[in-house]
Structure 1
Amino acid sequence: MSVVETLQREYPVVYEQKVLWQHVDAARHVNNVTYVQWFEDARVYYFEKLGLAALPGDSGDPVGIILAWQACKYTAPLFYLETALIGIRITKIESDRFWMECKMVSRERDQVVALAESKIVAYDYLKHRKTDLQPNWVRRIQELEGPEKHLISTSQTV
């Protein structure tokens, strides 16, 4: 099975991004900052698939999400006119946060080019503090990820 086929099978959401001239730097490949921006675009696309507002207040609720931490590992360059496929999934849910994992693949070379992880925290933008995840968010995540995934953790982290 190809890398692309595996990505499409293992990740419930796949975001597609064509490499344009503006994404290429002086080294003739996609700049490392662009990878991080595309991972952000993939996260927003995931939230849209869930039917959740991307910005707090969009639904009339001051509770939204905020990126608390992220890491990116670059494994290969991407080049002009290639297509990046970004698989995204949630790997763990806690009372006030969840962990996301992304894998970026070059469609043309059938090769993994970057991996990313992020911690997303529920945040009350009126009270300016973290809060618990909304129960409907957790339900929607579980529906999208599939019933066979056991994402909820009973451990608490800071």
Structure 2
Amino acid sequence: MKIAVGNDHVGIELKPVIIEFLESLGHEVVDYGAQTNERTDYPIYGKKVGEEVAAGNVDCGILICGTGVGISIAANKVKGVRAVVCSEPYTAQLSKEHNNTNILAFGSRVIGSELAKMIVKAWLDAEFKGGRHANRVKMIADTERAYLC
């Protein structure tokens, strides 16, 4: 898979760990994140990764900021994005199986590198189950279309 990674200055130390992990799993990584620890604004990176995912230029995205919350909110403003913040693997897995999430976010101030890798692996290994969940994802897309004309 081709995976976009984005981060603000707070995620700068965790990002290379995640990129190395993704590459060790055989994925191609495109880095859209901050390159230094100089203060920057997370919406820039959430939006960029969201746009790349929504356009189909990458298969999915991973975002890192202090908590994962702000950067995921920014990504979720892009039509077609279903970003989730996870601090443990079970939610990451179910977010893909039930909600067909296409961006995973987490906070470098909340979780450590080993837990981050476990979350990423659970999310990447999960598959959307469709069925009753497909109708719910469609309902979300219908709501999005109604408000993001």
- Structure 1-normalised TM-score? 0.31
The structure where helix makes up a greater share of residues is: 2
The structure where strand makes up a greater share of residues is: 1
Structure of greater Rg? 1
